[in-house]
Chain A
Amino acid sequence: MEATKDAAVHEHHALAGDRKDLPVIGPGHTLSSITDKITSIVLRRDTPLAWAASLAVASTGLFFLVVSVAWLLIKGTGVWGINNEIGWGFAIINFVWWIGIGHAGTLISAILLLLNQQWRTSINRAAEAMTLFAVACAGMFPLLHVGRPWLAFWLFPVPNTMGVWPQFRSPLLWDVFAVSTYATVSALFWFTGLIPDLATLRDQAKHIWAKRIFGMLALGWRGAAKHWERYEIAYLILAGLSTPLVVSVHTVVSFDFAVSIVPGWHATILPPYFVAGAIYSGFAMVLTLMIPLRSVYGLKDFITDRHLNNMAKVMLATGLIVAYGYVMEAFYAWYSGSQWELAMINNRMFGDAWKSYWALILFNVAIPQLLWFKSVRLNPFVLFWISIVVNIGMWLERYVIVVTSLERDFMPSAWADYYPTKWDVMLYVGTIGFFFFAFFLFIRFLPVIAVFEMRSLVPARDPSARKGAATSSTANTEGAHG
């Protein structure tokens, strides 16, 4: 038995083309152990107390969301800190922050699939869920920012009695299409990935209602070769579509800024620097979620140090691109010789928002340089704190970009200051609450790791199987010990 195990481990390393020091999956796993380990998180009958407590905390945040949205709808956007000059404020800062966070999920599930990176396999499902919830949070802000969200369908080209159409030359309208397409495609990608796992849950569940609900969601999936054939085509093409899509989405978000003539926004560096920033903050959020998740649920065999190491490296690389963006912004302002650009960068670095600017440089540029050290990348505790720091830094970046360019307009008579109100803060905290609320529900009711994809990381053989040992009557009991 021991010899078989060693052989299996050896073979799995060979299969995964793997580095021996940092494998993508713990040793000794089989098709059945993977299935049982991941589905048990969903199918266990007792609900862990820690989960219930976390959900309770998150639902407090959700309560803030409901209250602040209700108050906003009653009173209007005047309850926010926005004014004539700074018309965007928290709503757009938070929109860009959330949508950027979502991009890491798509990068992991789509781009790393196309690049044949096997380490994506155990993190793509949770990262895609994160994308979906982050995009939902992001979508709320522009929707509420229009002031009368019940008329938001006017943003779409819907024939109407007024005989007017949207203005297709505006980046703000491009954004409507980009974000709604992104939300739809992310949901499709996520659900498609879930179908075979829902079938597994249907077959593994003992409770009749669990069987029925997962059975309905699984659409009757039975793993037929013909089905897999079409499934793989659809999945691969979705990955191929999502890859340019995710780049386009944050590019279009940056167009909201760059196509205007506002100093600090009107720069060609914005699209690449926004996309890099999005991936940077997204990977930070993936780490923020995964590091506690893998220790609480004992998933260190599946989300290994290799994953943390690689994600930290992606963060380091994208963080450096972002740092280059900051340098170029200052260089452009100086090299342009334009008094407006110079005044803007001077105001950004040394004006009222100087603390935010230098804090973002500290959080996004200075502290993440620790990731050059392997010992830091392999230390989950330090990595977790760096990920939090980057999340804050990326929020400050959007704050600085939005506020410093708007608060000092071309004419001093149009200068203004921006102070968020408690409703701004409450709505922001509310979306964070919603995000974690949805994520905790996801952890409890759906497999956090793509089971069928994990199966491809081990030899496609069940070592526990002996000829004649299995009959249909022993299927379930035999399964429990695998």
Chain B
Amino acid sequence: MQHETPTLYGVLAEFASADELVAACKRVKAAGYEKVEAYSPLPLHEVNHALGHTSKLSSLIFCGGLTGALTGFGMQTYISVFDYPMNIGGRPYFSWPSFIVITFEMTVLFSALTAVIGMIALNGLPQPYHPLFNSAAFERASRNRFFLCIEADDPRFDLAEAKKVLASTQPLLVEEVPH
């Protein structure tokens, strides 16, 4: 895909409220832009709806949990039944009810690790540099302002056009973000 201007990351607009950001997301989406991202100091479900974001993280965590359960139960069965069978209080070697606690703990451990590592990895973090950090205004995205960026590698991207669309959404500020 050919960049309109290779040194440009995108056009960024700043908003004072979440409602204005949601309205702007809808308008920009309606204008046909695909590579659009919103930035906010708190999670906003409406924005995700407007931008059509979904995530496969939940299924990943389920797989992590399942792996943990199988690992926990399998490990205990292998050790206590096959590799190192010991008579403990006359119980059968395969005394599975006593394996449940550790199976549960391993399920939780693997799921939690998958949740956190998966969230960080799918988000592409850690990422010390990002073009948006070139914008001085963007510091407010972690404080009290809401941002919307049309990225330059969008197939429909045209600098003047993108600026016009964003300007029509009543932003506080519209600026170009260099790479």
A residues at B contact (CB < 8 Å): 30-32, 35, 157, 163-171, 173-174, 177-178, 181, 184-185, 188-189, 191-192, 196, 199-200, 202-204, 215-216, 219-234, 237-238, 241-242, 244-245, 248, 252, 255, 452-453, 455-456, 459-462, 465, 467-473, 475-476, 479, 482
Contacts and interface: CB of A to CB of B under 8 A. Distances in A.
A181 B172 contact: no
Interface string B26-68: 0000000000011111111001100101110110010000000
Contact of A469 (B80, B116, B172): B172
Given A178-B105, A467-B172, A472-B135, 16 more contacts: A30-B144, A35-B41, A168-B76, A168-B102, A191-B116, A219-B125, A220-B126, A225-B47, A229-B54, A230-B55, A231-B123, A455-B41, A455-B42, A465-B17, A472-B136, A473-B136
B10 to A, nearest CB: 12
A258 to B, nearest CB: 13
A257 to B, nearest CB: 15
Interface in B76-128: 76, 79-80, 83-84, 86, 88-89, 91, 95, 98-99, 101-102, 104-106, 108-109, 111-113, 115-116, 118-120, 122-123, 125-128
Contacts of A462: 16-17, 144-145
B74 to A, nearest CB: 12
A462 B41 CA distance: 12
A228 B102 contact: no
Nearest to B77: A168
25 contacts: A31-B144, A165-B83, A168-B80, A168-B102, A169-B95, A178-B105, A192-B119, A202-B142, A216-B128, A220-B127, A221-B142, A222-B39, A224-B123, A225-B37, A225-B40, A225-B44, A230-B55, A230-B123, A231-B43, A234-B115, A234-B118, A237-B58, A252-B101, A460-B17, A465-B172
Contacts, number: 236
B44 A460 contact: yes
A470 B101 contact: no
Contacts of A479: 139-140, 143
A318 to B, nearest CB: 23
B19 interface: yes
B43 A181 contact: no
Contacts of B113: 184, 188
Contacts of B108: 181, 185, 241, 244-245, 248
A480 to B, nearest CB: 11
B153 interface: no
Contact of B112 (A168, A230, A238): A238
Interface string B155-179: 0000000000000001011010000
A168 B68 CA distance: 16
Interface residues of B, number: 76
B43 A228 contact: yes
B129 A200 contact: no
A468 B172 contact: yes
Contacts of B40: 223, 225, 228
A467 to B, nearest CB: 6
A467 B128 CA distance: 32
Given A215-B128, A252-B101, A177 B143 contact: no
B75 interface: yes
A51 B43 CA distance: 33
Contact of A188 (B80, B116, B132, B139): B116
B137 interface: yes
Contacts of B39: 222-225
B98 A225 contact: no
A192 B112 CA distance: 11
